[in-house]
Chains A and B, each alone.
Chain A
Amino acid sequence: MSSFFDCYEADTARFFDEVIAHDGTPRPHYDKMLQRFDQFSNDDIKARREVINIFFRNQGITFTVYGEEQGVERLFPFDLIPRVVPAHEWQTIEKGLTQRITALNEFLKDIYHSQKILKDKVIPAELILGSQHFRREFVGINPPLGIYIHVTGSDIIRDHNGKYLVLEDNLRTPSGVSYMLQNRQAMKRAFPVLFDKYKIRPIENYPQELLRTLQEIGQSARREPNVVVLTPGIYNSAYFEHSFLARQMGVELTEGKDLVVNNNKVYTRTTRGLEQVDVIYRRIDDAYLDPLVFRPDSKLGVAGLVNAYRKGNVTLANAIGTGVADDKVIYSFVPKIINYYLGEDPILENVPTWLASNPDDLKYILANLDSLVVKAANESGGYGMLIGPESTLEQQEQFAEMLVANPRNYIAQPTISLSRHPSFFHDTELWGCHIDLRPYVLYGNNITIVPGGLTRVALKRGSLVVNSSQGGGSKDTWVVDE
């Protein structure tokens, strides 16, 4: 075993470790990396860390922490040790996600048209029709190519046996893809020799693929569809990503106030008058899109946008109302959804899930609150959840009350010990941190997944929460050909 990793305790008895196998030897696809890191002194690591920090700061890659006065800008925590995914494992992920996203899109098309799946009682109708993300105004609307979810990012984890499972689907506006791209740039700058040793599949074409996807769903009446990115603005925590993608694609980055709807067509306001827009890659939630239809107090949206969309004069990516399919309750039905529309078994399995709305399940959940993870169906970012083994009796009682009061709103899953990956703590110490993986799926004429994704790291000792708002960081992810 490499001396650099000598002080690293993988604890393979309790966790699946990405680098160290059960018998304590390194996994073969990490051999070359361990050898390389072996040649580094602490000072080398420090110097490389400095290179990377300067890179991120110069790029303006910071995120804003809310709640603190004036929104403090922080560097996104970055872990220097890359994750390696062998090609054969990636193949499973790629096939599994393609299958899953295809089925979910069919599901959305069905839900917003004839609702066969409800009539066949595969999913209880009240779960869909009662969901706050179901937009009945859009029943019968036909988005171009029949596609609802053009850009998605499902979160994938590995359990203690190393099996890949889908933890949740993000079908609205998944973020983080800019970190995936920038992490790769940073690693190239700091560890060029290491790159030479692996056949790493490139991800740099993501912006071009995204633009191609967006152009494909543009209306065909005009030769070159005019694509824009719509951002809530500079104070949004993902603003860097919005501007980064616009710049990489070479399209305009717009805020709501840059757009105007006239005669059911959408235009940008320019110094030379109005210019029509065909496709909007919107990074704004449904609720803020159009003050005339959704939240009337929204200052981020564009009055009249929804009508222009309904008339087919502009395409939104993603479509309105896709949130109904990434609800954590609907999540538990995805295996059935895949089977119903494609007649196939899911390639990537779900994490076992109990629905509080189901009386038997609710009984089980209430009896096992100390060992389960309870999640609110519509929260994201690691908020609104109870992690059983880490919770106090008081918190459990509080959740028990909420569960009984509003069962539709909760699900429970076993506490899964996510796989661990050695990560740097203060650049001096190696520690096994829990990780997940978010690959980005593009859906235009066909499905494209750039090889890799964002590996998020829970950079607090023992923490299972990988969200950046809760102290999570990220690392570069390499899909390598053996």
Chain B
Amino acid sequence: MLSRVAESLFWMSRYFERAENTARFLDVNFNLLLDLNKITHVDNPNYWIALILVTSDKERFNSLYESYSAESVTDYLVFNKSNPNSIISSISLARENARSIIESISSEMWEQVNNLYHSLQSVTPQVVHNDPYMFYKEIKNASHLFQGITDNTFSHNEGWDFIQIAKYLERTDNIARLIDVKYHMLLSEAHHQAEIVAGSEDIIQWMAVLKSCSALEAFRKVYLSKIDPDNILRFLILDRSFPRSINFSVCAAEDALWRISGSSRHRYVNNADRLIGKLEAELSYTTVEDIHDKGLHDYLEDLEQRLIKVGAQVHLTYFAYHTPEIESDSSDEALPFTGVAGGRPNWSQAQQQQQQQ
């Protein structure tokens, strides 16, 4: 498979997953604020700033908007084209990558990403404002449909594995950030303000985090109705069977990487395999107490950094345009992570005017 094709499959998948997760972030925040409407109002900036903080995107946001409100944060995360991680940008980039490999993917996959792209063009902020639940649900469903179409119309070989790696690396990163939202909320004044109903607010926030991972029901089946923060961390970080837990996602990414390279346990052939294997092994033997020892926020941040390194190694191993015979002047040059925009890896898109010759 051409390196470029593998790379485009990777980013197509990654941006689609990112759009879905952004929709989840936003959806859950709306729900949370509705649940809490006794003690706060929908525009409480402390709840919206958290969404910007977890995407490490405070500076760009501040250069574009004056305050943190439902309206400004929604606009930034859904519509803003100068934010490469907004839903509109993510879907555009997913489509752009799909378009460049249109001959390699199934036409059903192309139609799905193309249709979503075109239908998003006509969505206005008013539409989202009127029925946020419906809008975010459509994005999530579109993503699920895309994954289903991919699984059922695209051969499960190397290309499919690159799609899986991208999807699960992105998902892991997003779950980590989502749990971190809770951390930022605790730091913010929202907490103090709500101490009157202490306890119940905490639980509601944690439930919101679970819901945003579609994990509330699955969680209850394991822990019954004991919504206890430690159990939630156990579930979202360490559970091995729930598809939106960190451990599950890391295992899935590891499987896909090993299928491509032929690595196996105790025997890796490249650094991407080594790093993901190490992460997976650690997760297998981590307890929630270990996480608290390190501090939840620090633990999550460390995890995000390690995921970025795995992504960089995948790039170097499979996508980088250099060969042993012809060494480019600087091997850094080929890295796609030009700006780790918003703390998240992004596709480097070199627009070539010459292509229009």
| 18 examples of A-B residue contacts, CB within 8 angstroms | A60-B110, A60-B114, A234-B355, A235-B351, A235-B355, A239-B355, A254-B4, A257-B321, A258-B4, A262-B326, A271-B6, A271-B158, A272-B1, A284-B357, A288-B354, A288-B357, A300-B354, A300-B357
- In the complex, chain A residues whose CB is within 8 Å of the CB of B40: none
C-alpha gap A232/B352 in the complex (Å): 9
**B residues 341-355 in Cβ contact with A at 8 Å:** 351-355
The reply on B100 being an interface residue by CB < 8 A is yes
Chain A residues positioned under 8 Å from B114 (CB to CB): 57-58, 60
User: Chain B: which residue is nearest A234 at the CB level?
Assistant: B100
A331 at the binding interface (Cβ < 8 Å):
no
CA distance A252 to B8 in the complex (A): 14
Query: A233 near B: Cβ within 8 Å?
Result: yes
Closest 7 CB pairs of A and B: A247-B103, A235-B355, A232-B355, A233-B355, A234-B100, A243-B103, A236-B355
Cross-chain contact B2 with A268 (CB below 8 angstroms): yes
Tell yes or no: B115 within 8 A of A by CB: yes
Known interface pairs A233-B355, A235-B355, A300-B357; 9 further A-B residue pairs with C-beta atoms within 8 A, sorted by A's residue number = A233-B100, A235-B356, A236-B355, A240-B102, A246-B103, A253-B103, A269-B323, A270-B1, A274-B323
- Could you tell me the distance between the alpha carbons of A270 and B351 in the complex, rounded to whole angstroms? 22
Cα–Cα, bound, A256→B104 (Å)? 18
B96 at the interface (CB under 8 A from A): yes
What B residues does A246 contact at CB under 8 A? Answer: 103
Contacts of A59 in B (CB 8 A): 107
What are the residues of chain B within 8 A of A300 when measuring CB–CB?
352, 354-355, 357
The answer to whether B357 touches A60, judged by C-beta atoms less than 8 angstroms apart, is: no
A234-B96, A269-B2, A271-B260 given as contacts; is B323 within 8 A of A285 (CB)? Answer: no
The CA-CA distance from A467 to B107 in the complex, in Å, is 29
Q: Is B337 an interface residue (CB 8 A)?
A: no
Most buried by B among A240, A255, A271: A271
- In angstroms, Cα B99 to Cα A197, docked, is 37
Q: Which of B69-125 contact A (CB under 8 A)?
A: 96, 99-104, 107, 110-111, 114-115, 118
A377 to B: closest C-beta gap in Å? 19
Contact residue among A64, A269, A285, A298 (Cβ-Cβ distance under 8 Å from B321): A269
- The answer, yes or no, to whether B325 is at the interface (CB within 8 Å) is yes
Give the residues in chain B near A298, CB-CB below 8 Å: 354
Interface residues of A in 242-284 (CB under 8 A from B): 243-244, 246-247, 252-255, 257-258, 260, 262, 268-272, 274, 284
Contacts of A64 in B (CB 8 A): 356
As a 0/1 sequence over residues 439 to 470 of chain A, the CB contacts with chain B under 8 angstroms (1 = contact) are 00000000000000000000000000000000
Residue in A60, A237, A258 whose beta carbon sits within 8 Å of that of B356 in the complex: A237
A-B Cβ contacts below 8 A, count: 93
Question: What is B's interface to A at a CB cutoff of 8 Å?
Answer: 1-6, 96, 99-104, 107, 110-111, 114-115, 118, 158, 260, 318-319, 321, 323, 325-326, 351-357
**Is A299 at the interface (CB under 8 A from chain B)?**
yes
A57 proximity list for chain B (CB < 8 A): 114, 118
Q: Residue on A with the closest CB to B110? A: A60
Q: Which residues of chain A from 52 to 67 have any CB-CB distance to chain B below 8 Å in the complex?
A: 57-60, 64, 66
Contact (A260, B351) CB under 8 Å given A247-B103, A270-B3 = no
B contact patch SS: helix
CA distance A268 to B100 in the complex (A): 17
Q: A interface vs B, CB < 8 Å?
A: 57-60, 64, 66, 71, 232-237, 239-240, 243-244, 246-247, 252-255, 257-258, 260, 262, 268-272, 274, 284-285, 288, 298-300
Contacts of B99 in A (CB 8 A): 60, 234, 239
Separation in Å of the B316 CB from the closest CB of chain A? 12
* Set of chain A residues within 8 Å of B101, measured between Cβ atoms: 253
A252 partner, pick from B2, B319, B323, beta carbons under 8 A = B2
A13 to chain B, nearest CB (A): 43
Residue in chain B with minimal CB distance to A235: B355
Question: What's the nearest-Cβ distance from chain A to residue B9, in Å?
Answer: 10
Cα distance A57–B99 in the bound complex, in angstroms: 13
- Give bound CA distance, A252 to B356, whole Å: 21
Contact A257-B4, Cβ < 8 Å, known A232-B352, A232-B357, A237-B356: yes
Is the pair B352, A244 in contact by a Cβ cutoff of 8 Å? no
A237 and B356 alpha carbons, distance in the complex (Å): 6
Q: How far is the CB of B352 from chain A (nearest CB, A)?
A: 6
Asked if A271 meets B111 with Cβ closer than 8 Å, knowing A236-B355, A247-B102, the reply is: no
The smallest beta-carbon distance between B302 and chain A, in angstroms, is 29
> Once bound together, how far apart are the Cα atoms of A59 and B108, in whole Å?
10
> How many Å lie between the Cα of A136 and that of B304 in the bound state?
58
Which of chain A's residues have a CB closer than 8 A to the CB of B5?
A: 252
CB pair A233–B2 under 8 Å, yes or no, is: no
User: Chain A residues with Cβ under 8 A from B2's Cβ?
Assistant: 252, 254, 258, 268-271
Cα–Cα distance between A271 and B356 once the two chains are bound (Å): 28
Question: Are B4 and A66 in contact, with the CB atoms below 8 A?
Answer: no
Q: Once bound together, how far apart are the Cα atoms of A294 and B237, in whole Å? A: 56
Kindly report which residue of chain A lies nearest to residue B322, judged by CB atoms.
A269
CB-nearest residue of chain B relative to A59? B107
Could you say which residues of chain B place their CB within 8 Å of the CB of A268? 2
CA A258 to CA B6, docked complex, whole Å? 12
* Cβ contacts under 8 Å, B96 to chain A: 234
Check B325 against A262 for contact (C-beta < 8 Å). Answer: yes
Instruction: Name the residue on A nearest B321 (C-beta).
Output: A257
B309 to chain A, nearest CB (A): 20
Quick check: A258 and B3 within 8 Å, CB to CB? yes
Instruction: Tell me which residues across on chain B come within 8 A of A244, comparing CB atoms.
Output: 103
Give chain A residues whose Cβ lies under 8 Å from the Cβ of B351: 235
Across the interface, which residues of A come within 8 angstroms of B104, CB to CB? Answer: 247, 253
Select B4's contact among A71, A236, A255, beta carbons within 8 Å: A255
- A288 to B319 Cα, complex, angstroms: 24
Closest to B114 in A: A60
Q: How far is the CA of A253 from the CA of B5 in the complex (A)?
A: 9
**Alpha-carbon distance A233/B4, docked complex (angstroms):** 12
